[in-house]
Chain A
Amino acid sequence: SQQGEEDPQALSIQEGENATMNCSYKTSINNLQWYRQNSGRGLVHLILIRSNEREKHSGRLRVTLDTSKKSSSLLITASRAADTASYFCATANTGGFKTIFGAGTRLFVKA
């Protein structure tokens, strides 16, 4: 079963704007990961945040994690047309073995 739910399902913004995507999950987790998928391709890992971390940065990406609310957000700052893709959150349970993906957010950045 898919544990993560993401919103919005789709997001369309202008180049240069920030994009925020949210993810909620249901069970206890060991970590939460964000991935990017270009159309018809495999997924690329963006960032992993552990359950004892609250915020993490990587370049133009900022991820937050609130375990009390079982939610995470991905912020892409100063978006570019090349950021157009689907973004998925994924959780590894406390056993840490299986990774389950959320429904994803389709981001479209207009040049």
Chain B
Amino acid sequence: GAVVSQHPSRVICKSGTSVKIECRSLDFQATTMFWYRQFPKQSLMLMATSNEGSKATYEQGVEKDKFLINHASLTLSTLTVTSAHPEDSSFYICSARDGTGPLNNSPLHFGNGTRLTVT
């Protein structure tokens, strides 16, 4: 159980275009999802917390107009990288907790990530 599906797994886009990444919880409801960014051989940096039915909470230094997050249902959150530039190239990973357990003592379940390359 507790499967998170993320797609696309890879995307190449031209500078100036926008890219949407989807994150779905397949067998549980996730009122909250988390979006991380990872550079090669580095750790995960939390970008934002996606809240179902309300605005996302962004970490300091993350541009909310650049990284649009929508969490329209209990099983789907999307991250749109707007007007992408080469420096946005990275590995983006979403995660969620199974909301049936105590949130503060439940592990995160991760999607398989999206490798974004902006040319």
Contact = CB atoms under 8 A, between A and B. Distances in A.
B44 A97 contact: no
5 contacts: A35-B108, A96-B103, A97-B103, A101-B36, A101-B46
B38 to A, nearest CB: 9
For chain B, the bracket of interface size reads 20 to 34
B41 A106 contact: yes
Interface of A: 2, 30-31, 33, 35, 40-45, 48, 50, 88, 90, 92, 95-104, 106
Residue with the highest number of chain A CB atoms closer than 10 Å, among B34, B106, B107, B109: B107
A31 B113 CA distance: 25
A99 B104 contact: no
B43 A2 contact: yes
B100 interface: no
Nearest to A42: B110
Nearest to B105: A31
